Amino acid sequence: MGQTGLKVTGVPVAVLGAGAWGTAVAIALAQRHPVKLWGRNSEAMQRAQSARENHDYLPGLPFPELLEAVHDFDAAVEYGKHGLLIAACPVAGLRPLAQKLQNYQPGHLVWLCKGFEGGASMLPHQIVAEELGRDFIGGALYGPSFAQEFARGLPCALTIASHDPALREKVVRIAHGGSVRVYTSDDVTGVEVGGAVKNIMAIATGIADGLGLGMNARAALITRGLAEISRLGVALGGHAETFMGLTGVGDLILTCTGDLSRNRKVGLGLAAGKPLQQIVDELGHVAEGVPCARSVRALAARMQIDMPITNAVAGVLFDGDNAREMVARLLARDPRDENA
């Protein structure tokens, strides 16, 4: 697993959400810490515990000895409260999860989900603040990372973003080591915007790759996509330098170019003329860029922020626009100063 020989420190960890990324984080942390991985489906969790792997999401990757798959939410939360409590649900499930946590006085929560909640286009930290209070201690653990590679113990760098220095230090103590490097940031907004909008750009690059437009086009989309991410992030209060780091350009490059990227696969499917529902069904996993494109398009319109790639992707996803025509419209835009 790439982390053998590391000392078991015994910090209790609970991961709430047993999808691919939640399972991968649980596997990685259980190299050194006792971890409870909670999932809603009792039968699936019983199968995972018996087989010592999550066959539904990460087949072939065995659970370490310190990892236990559970269905008892109460027990999982009480366990994680005394060490580290991690929310590994999609962004659409963060509010219901935070509401469930209201009765537990968890003290802190670290979330892995990336995206904007629909309707009001809220970021994860805003959702948590609404449900658990503005003084609640929370943080986002993001970075360029594919679940399969992370679970296998391949090298990876992540960022823990929180306004609370003690939580940042706690996450570093627990997660940093072996093949995993953890950096810290107090720019929660910037980190979350980078993690969310890069998924939309991955759909765009998937479309371009699927149409055979070449690596020049891919590089242009990634670069101009970073400009869009930065414009939105700074307008929302993020720091410009954040978008040149792991959760900005790092996550963007990985998601736009990696064959394991779900969002890139959505773009490839759209380029092949497949209906969106068929693409999503074939994935079998959540592709956060799809709902995120709708939310970000609406948010950018309200804030009068120029986001042409986002608008083009949303047009293909939701308005019936043709993928090839989408690219043609982007190319036909009037020239402008690159830094404007």
81 noted as active-site residue: no
Helix (H) or strand (E) holding 68: strand 67-70
3-state secondary structure 176-243: CECCEEEEEECCHHHHHHHHHHHHHHHHHHHHHHHCCCHHHHHHHHHHHHHHHHHHHHHHCCCCHHHH
CB 310 within 8 A of CB 293: yes
Residue burial 244-281, b: 16+ Cβ < 10 Å; e: rest: ebbbbbbbbbbbbbeeebbbbbbbbbbbeeeeeeebbe
DSSP assignment of 97-155: HHHHHTTT--SEEEE---S-BTTTTB-HHHHHHHHH-TT-EEEEEE-S--HHHHHTT--
And the tokens for 324? 């090839």
Question: Which residue type occupies 101?
Answer: L
Catalytic pick from 81, 114, 170, 198? 198
Q: Distance between alpha carbon 198 and the CA centroid of its chain, in Å? A: 10
Taking the C-alpha atoms of residue 217 and residue 222, their distance in angstroms, rounded to an integer, is: 9
What DSSP assignment string belongs to 75-93?
HHHHHHHTSEEEE-S-GGG
- Do the Cβ atoms of 6 and 32 come closer than 8 Å? yes
Cite the active site residues: 198
